[in-house]
């Protein structure tokens, strides 16, 4: 079966077409600047030349039609007709408390995802636009929704209820949801597979460290706690997001700087983190470069990031009362040997030891723990699209 995986953003659409007989990617690509001037599609078929198509793309329906045209094009397409697509898997950011697992899409599911828009006002609307466009263009093809929040729904109440008046949880659904769930699920399953041990026998901490970062504590295959919360702002310090700060700072700064709610929201989400502390960039590569040239604040941002990772790993090990496996994934997790070494050096009290030579690489799947280490440490490139394709194939079967 061939599965089309879609990840719709407000002005972009990423896609991958999988052949599930061997899980190979037949084609992938990106539509950019939907609804804006200069919109384009970059289509990358396997074993054929990349195509860049510059054309007017006013909405998600046009974008998806364009993707389907590219996939079936006689010259650079990879399938002969749309009928070859067995199902479509959609990445949806917020599934609230309602969606605890991957779900076949019908009218009720669309209505439920729409109800969750207040919880993800920037992310759920493009996801819904993608679903609606696909349902109109491919009315007979099953559609499946895979939620970023779903894997974390196994968290116990003690992890997800905030120390706020309980009525806000009841009235507005204010609780911790967690994000990057598909990535944490993929790498945890993959680590168990590499080890050849059932997930149910393992205590794991998975670290998704990229532009947005989160850590999850997974016991017997179930998330018990995670660092992101009601929104992806909570937890670790990130590229441009502050992560945890004393909440009283917010009203203090608003008063001092005369900021509106929108401005303070932007400050916390877009001007903080590596960018805010270093003053250099939200991209760790640039921050590392500046630090190597002696930039004090760049080095401070890096040290703070490492320290916060260690802090959450330590807390989570205590929460789940042990650790068998530590996993690093995403842009920084996969590509920064310095970060992995600095973090693991602080965890030797857990009898966690890495092979520092083996750790010197980027972007591949590898065990980096030493033979004597009680805790196995892996770097596993994340593959959310494959997880979505697998879920979709399983559900429609
Ligand atoms: P992601 O959001 O998963 O795409 O990750 C983006 C982050 O990964 C950015 O902060 C990048 O600086 C970081 N990253 C990507 N490649 C490298 C690298 N070679 N060394 C250090 N950080 C990297």
* Catalytic residue selected from 56, 75, 148, 225: 148
Q: How many whole angstroms from 238 Cα to the centroid of ligand 1?
A: 11
**Separation CA 310–CA 296 (nearest Å):** 21
Half-sphere exposure of 178 (CA within 13 A, CB side): 32
Give the pLDDT score at 380: 98
Q: Is 319 annotated as a binding residue?
A: no
Q: How many whole angstroms from 286 Cα to the centroid of ligand 1?
A: 10
Residue nearest to atom 4 of ligand 1 (CA): 331
User: Which pair of tokens denotes residue 260?
Assistant: 């509106």
Give the pLDDT score at 10: 87
**Separation CA 290–CA 281 (nearest Å):** 9
Cβ of residue 280 lying under 6 Å from some atom of ligand 1:
no
| C-alpha gyration radius of the chain | 22
Q: Is 19 a catalytic residue?
A: no
Give the pLDDT score at 334: 98
Q: Is 185 annotated as a binding residue?
A: no
Q: Is 7 annotated as a binding residue?
A: yes
Angle at 239 between CA 122 and CA 155, to 5 degrees: 65
Burial of 118 from C-beta contacts in 10 A (0-12 / 13-18 / 19+): exposed
Give the pLDDT score at 274: 97
Per-residue pLDDT 10s for the chain (397 aa) are 999 999 999 899 999 999 999 999 999 999 999 999 999 999 999 999 999 999 999 999 999 999 999 999 999 999 999 999 999 999 999 999 999 999 999 999 999 999 999 999 889 999 999 999 999 999 999 999 999 999 999 999 999 999 999 999 999 999 999 999 999 999 999 999 999 999 999 999 999 999 999 999 999 999 999 999 999 999 999 999 999 999 999 999 999 999 999 999 999 999 999 999 999 999 999 999 999 999 999 999 999 999 999 999 999 999 999 999 999 999 999 999 999 999 999 999 999 999 999 999 999 999 999 999 999 999 999 999 999 999 999 999 8
Give the pLDDT score at 122: 87
Cβ of residue 362 lying under 6 Å from some atom of ligand 1:
yes
Cβ of residue 197 lying under 6 Å from some atom of ligand 1:
no
Nearest ligand 1 atom to the CA of 286 is 12
What does the H/E/C string look like for the chain? CEEEEEEECCCCEEEEEEECCCCEEEEEEEEECCCCCCCEEEEEECCCCCEEEECCCCCHHHHHHHHHHHHHCCCCCCCCCHHHEEEEEEEECCCCCCCCCCEECCHHHHHHHHHCHHHCCCCHHHHHHHHHHHHHHCCCCCEEEEECCHHHHHCCHHHHCCCCCHHHHHHHCCCCCCCCHHHHHHHHHHHHHHHCCCHHHCEEEEEEECCCEEEEEEECCEEEEECCCCCCCCCCCCCCCCCCCCCHHHHHHHHHHCCCHHHHHHHHHHCCHHHHHHCCCCCHHHHHHHHHCCCHHHHHHHHHHHHHHHHHHHHHHHHCCCCCEEEEEHHHHHHCHHHHHHHHHCCHHHCCCECCCCCCCCCCCEECECCCCCCEEEECCCCHHHHHHHHHHHHHC
Cβ of residue 283 lying under 6 Å from some atom of ligand 1:
yes
pLDDT in tens, 243-276: 999 999 999 999 999 999 999 999 999 999 999 9
**Separation CA 145–CA 316 (nearest Å):** 29
Question: 168 φ, ψ to 5°?
Answer: -75, -30
Strands 376-379 vs 366-367: parallel, antiparallel or unpaired: antiparallel
Q: Is 77 annotated as a binding residue?
A: no
**Separation CA 176–CA 179 (nearest Å):** 10
Q: How many whole angstroms from 211 Cα to the centroid of ligand 1?
A: 7
Residue nearest to atom 8 of ligand 1 (CA): 331
CA-closest candidate to residue 383, choices 361, 357, 365, 362: 365
Give the pLDDT score at 338: 96
Nearest ligand 1 atom to the CA of 362 is 19
DSSP β-bridge partners for residue 13: 8, 31
pLDDT in tens, 160-205: 999 999 999 999 999 999 999 999 999 999 999 999 999 999 999 9
CA separation (Å) from 121 to 42, 111, 116, 324?
A: 27, 15, 8, 38
**Separation CA 304–CA 298 (nearest Å):** 10
Q: How many whole angstroms from 283 Cα to the centroid of ligand 1?
A: 7
**Separation CA 132–CA 299 (nearest Å):** 46
Q: Is 341 annotated as a binding residue?
A: no
Contact between residue 24 and residue 46 where contact means Cβ atoms under 8 Å apart:
yes
How many residues appear in the chain?
397
Q: How many whole angstroms from 356 Cα to the centroid of ligand 1?
A: 20
Q: How many whole angstroms from 225 Cα to the centroid of ligand 1?
A: 24
Give the pLDDT score at 101: 97
Cβ of residue 331 lying under 6 Å from some atom of ligand 1:
yes
Q: Pick from 184, 236, 273, 284 the residue to mutate for probing ligand 1's pocket: most ligand atoms within 8 Å of its CB.
A: 284
Give the pLDDT score at 13: 96
């Amino acid at each position: 079966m061939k599965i089309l995986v879609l990840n719709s953003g407000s002005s972009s659409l990423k896609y991958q077409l999988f052949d599930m007989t061997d899980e190979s990617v037949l084609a992938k690509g990106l539509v950019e600047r939907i609804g804006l001037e200069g919109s384009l599609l970059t289509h990358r078929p396997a074993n054929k030349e990349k195509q860049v198509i510059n054309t007017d793309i006013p909405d998600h329906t046009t974008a998806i039609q364009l993707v389907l045209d590219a996939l079936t094009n006689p010259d650079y397409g990879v399938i002969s007709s749309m009928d070859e697509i067995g199902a479509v898997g959609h990445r949806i950011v917020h599934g609230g408390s309602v969606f605890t697992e991957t779900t076949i899409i019908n009218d009720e599911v669309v209505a439920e995802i729409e109800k969750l828009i207040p919880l993800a006002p920037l992310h759920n609307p493009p996801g819904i636009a993608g679903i609606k466009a696909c349902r109109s263009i491919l009315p007979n093809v099953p559609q499946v929704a895979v939620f970023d929040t779903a894997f974390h729904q196994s968290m116990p109440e003690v992890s997800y209820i905030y120390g706020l008046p309980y009525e806000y949880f009841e009235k507005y659904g204010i609780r911790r949801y967690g994000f990057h769930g598909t990535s944490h699920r993929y790498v945890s399953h993959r680590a168990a597979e590499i080890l050849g041990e059932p997930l149910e026998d393992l205590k794991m901490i998975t670290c998704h460290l990229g532009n947005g970062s989160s850590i999850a504590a997974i016991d017997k295959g179930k998330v018990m706690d995670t660092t992101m919360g009601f929104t992806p702002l909570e937890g670790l310090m990130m590229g441009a997001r502050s992560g945890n700060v004393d909440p009283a700072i917010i009203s203090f700064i608003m008063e001092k700087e005369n900021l509106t709610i929108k401005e303070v929201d932007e400050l916390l989400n877009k001007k903080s983190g590596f960018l805010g502390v270093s003053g250099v960039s939200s991209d760790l590569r640039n921050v590392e470069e500046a630090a190597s040239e002696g930039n004090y604040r760049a080095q401070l941002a890096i040290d703070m990031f490492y320290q916060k990772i260690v802090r959450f790993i330590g807390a989570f090990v205590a929460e789940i009362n042990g650790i068998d496996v530590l996993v690093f994934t995403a842009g920084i997790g996969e590509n920064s040997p310095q970060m992995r070494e600095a973090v693991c050096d602080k965890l030797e009290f857990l009898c966690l030891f890495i092979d520092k030579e083996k750790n010197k690489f980027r972007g591949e799947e590898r065990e980096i723990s030493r033979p004597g280490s009680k805790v196995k440490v892996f770097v596993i490139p994340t593959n959310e699209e494959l997880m979505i394709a697998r879920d979709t194939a399983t559900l429609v079967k």
